[in-house]
Chains A and B, each alone.
Chain A
Amino acid sequence: MELKNYFDYNATTPVDPRVVEAMRPFFSENFHNPSSFYSQAGEALQAIEVAREQAAKLLNARPDEIFFTSGGTESDNLAIQGVASMYKEKGNHIITSAIEHPAVLKTCQFLAKKKGFEVTYLPVDEKGYVSPKELKESIKDATILVTIMHANNEIGTLQPLKALAEIAHSRGVYFHTDAVQSTGKIPVDVKDLGVDMLSFSSHKIYGPKGMGVLYIKKGVKIDPLLFGGGHEHGLRAGTENVTGIVGIGKAAEIALAEMREEEKKLRPLRDRLKKMILETIPDVLVNGDPENGLYNTLNVSIRHIEGESILALLDGNGFALSSGSACSSKSLDPSHVLLAIGLKHEDAHGSLRISLGKYNSEDAVNSLLETLPVVVQRLRSMSPFWTNKK
C-alpha cells in the first residue's frame, strides 16, 4: 500500500484491504436486514455475531458486553449520557480530566449546562498524568461516574487506569474510559483494567469510518440515547450497519493478531524520529511521556515558529501531519491538552504531532527527517522570535 508520507494515524487510518474484502459481500450480495425472517437475513445476523466475538476478544470481554455504535463519539456520549440519565436520582456529579477528547468534554459540558450536573475536571501533571490521589479526593457522595481516557490522542500519555478504576469502585462509582487511541495499538483488557465501560472506534484500527463499540460490563445498566426497534438489546436502536460491523470485527481480529509486531516495527521508528529531531533541530520540546506512552506517537514543540505553517510547508512536500496550534483550529485557541500539561501558548502554537502506523517505513521516516529541518529553518528565518533570540 502506497502511503509512505502519511504520519497522522492518530487522526485516522486507511482501511486494511483484508477488512475491505470481509465487508464486500455485505454491500450488494447479502444486503438483507438482519432482523428479517429469511435465511439470507440469518446469515447477516450470523456475521454480526461473529464480529461481536472478534471485538470481544480484542478487549477480553464477553460478546454480550459489546454494543455497536456509529463511532467513538457516540460510544462516549452513550456511556456518559446513559449513566447520567439512569442515575440522576442517585447523584449529579461526574468526574473527568482536563485532557479528554471533545466527545467527552462537550458531553460533560452539556450535562452541566442543561441537565443540572456538576463536573470536576481533574488537572494533569506536565507529562499528562491524572493523579489517583486527586481522583480519590474529588469523589463525593453525589458522584455517579468517572470518565478518564486511556491514551491521549495528542501526546500519547497512558493513564494508570487500573488504579483510577479501583478508586472509583471503592466508592461505588462507575468508571468509563475513552480507549479510542489505545485499543488495537496495545493490549486493552477490560478485566485487567477493571473498567465498567470502554469506547473504541473502528477507523483508528484500520476499519471503516462510522463504526464504534461501547463495551458495557455485564450487570451495568445505562439508558439508551437512540430509541426505536430494540436493536443491540434495546441500547442502540437502528438497523445494524452490517458492513461496518463486519469491518470493525475483522479490524479487531487483525489488530489482536498483529499489534505486537506493529509495536516492534513502530517503536524504534518513533524513537529514531525523536532522537534525530532533537539532534538536528535546536530548541525543541518533547511533550508527554513517549517512553511510557503510545509507541506510535511523538509530540514536539518546535519553538519560535507556528504549527499550521509547519504543516503547510510539509504538506507542500507531500507529508501529512497534525498540530495543536491555535491557527490550525477554528477556535483560535491552542490545544487544551498542551495547555493542560503546562505549555506556554507560543509553545503549544509550535506543536507538531507525528503518529505512525502500519504502512510507515524507515525510508519515509528518513525522508521526513530530511525535510523537517529545512522547513523549520525557513520558517525560523522569518520569525522575529528566532532571529532576535539572544
Chain B
Amino acid sequence: MYSKKVIEHFQNSKNYGKIENADGIGKVGNKKCGDVMWIYIKIENGLIADAKFETFGCVAAIATSSMAIDMMKGKPVEEALAITNKAVAEALDGLPPEKMHCSILAEEGIKAAIEDYMSKKKNN
C-alpha cells in the first residue's frame, strides 16, 4: 500500500531527534487520528541550517515528517514556508488516499516551526 520511498523514509530516517536551543519548534497534531508531529529548526543567515522531527504516528506520518525535513533543510525561510502538503506527498511518490492527511500535518508542522521562530525573533 505504501510506495518504496515511504517505506525507505520510515525505516531509515536519520532526520528525527531534538535540536537543543532550537530557534523554532512547531507542534501540530491531528485531532481525528491522534497523530502528533513536532518540527525543530535552527536558522542561520535566513536559511534553515538544521531541522529535525519527533513524531507519534503511523508509517505515513513518520515518512512525511522525514521528507519535510529533507525538503526544508538548507532552504531560505520563505521558500520553506511555501512547501505544500502535495509537494511532500509527491516527493514520496504518493500516499494512499486515507493517509493524505499525514502530509497536511507535515505542511502545518513546517509552518508552525517557522511561525514560532518569527514570533520569538519579534519578541527579542
Contact = CB atoms under 8 A, between A and B. Distances in A.
Interface of A: 304-306, 308-309, 312-313, 316, 325-328, 330, 332, 334, 345-346, 349, 381-385, 387-388
Contacts of A385: 36, 56
Contacts of A388: 54
B16 A304 contact: no
Query: Which of A325, A334, A349, A382 has the largest number of chain B CB atoms within 10 A?
Result: A382
A306 B57 contact: yes
A387 to B, nearest CB: 6
B57 A309 contact: yes
B33 A384 contact: no
A383 B56 contact: yes
B54 A306 contact: no
A316 B33 contact: no
A345 B34 contact: yes
Given A326-B33, A382-B16, A387-B18, A306 B58 contact: yes
Contact of B56 (A316, A332, A384): A384
A326 B31 CA distance: 12
A327 B11 contact: no
B55 A332 contact: no
Interface string B80-105: 00000000000000000010010000
Contact of B98 (A309, A312, A330, A345): A330
B55 A312 contact: no
Contacts of B101: 332
B114 to A, nearest CB: 18
Contacts of A381: 16-17
Contacts of B13: 382
Given A330-B98, A345-B34, A384-B38, A306 B56 contact: yes
Pick the most buried of A306, A316, A332, A387: most chain B CB atoms within 10 A of its CB.
Answer: A306
A304 B36 CA distance: 11
A316 B58 contact: no
Contact of B35 (A306, A330, A387): A306
22 contacts: A306-B57, A308-B58, A312-B7, A312-B10, A316-B7, A316-B11, A326-B34, A327-B61, A328-B58, A330-B98, A332-B32, A346-B34, A381-B16, A383-B55, A384-B27, A384-B36, A384-B55, A384-B56, A385-B36, A385-B56, A387-B54, A388-B54
Interface of B: 7, 10-11, 13, 16-18, 27, 32-36, 38, 53-62, 98, 101
A311 to B, nearest CB: 9
Main SS of the interface on chain A? helix
A306 B27 CA distance: 17
B34 A349 contact: yes
Contacts, number: 65
Contacts of A328: 58
A313 B60 CA distance: 13
Contacts of A325: 58
Nearest to B60: A327
Given A312-B10, A349-B34, A327 B54 contact: no
A349 B34 CA distance: 8
Contacts of B62: 309, 382
Contacts of A330: 98
B55 A327 contact: no
A325 B33 CA distance: 9
A380 to B, nearest CB: 9
A387 B33 CA distance: 21
A376 to B, nearest CB: 13
A330 B60 CA distance: 13
Given A327-B61, A387-B18, 15 more contacts: A306-B56, A306-B58, A308-B59, A316-B7, A316-B11, A325-B58, A327-B35, A327-B59, A332-B32, A346-B56, A382-B54, A382-B55, A382-B62, A385-B36, A385-B56
A332 B58 contact: no
Of B18, B55, B56, most buried by chain A (CB within 10 Å of CB) is B56
Nearest to B30: A332
Contacts of A382: 13, 16, 53-55, 62
Contacts of A387: 18, 54
A330 B32 CA distance: 12
Max chain A CB contacts within 10 Å: which of B7, B27, B53, B58? Answer: B58
Contacts of B33: 326-327, 332
A384 B10 CA distance: 16
Contact of A309 (B16, B27, B38, B59): B59
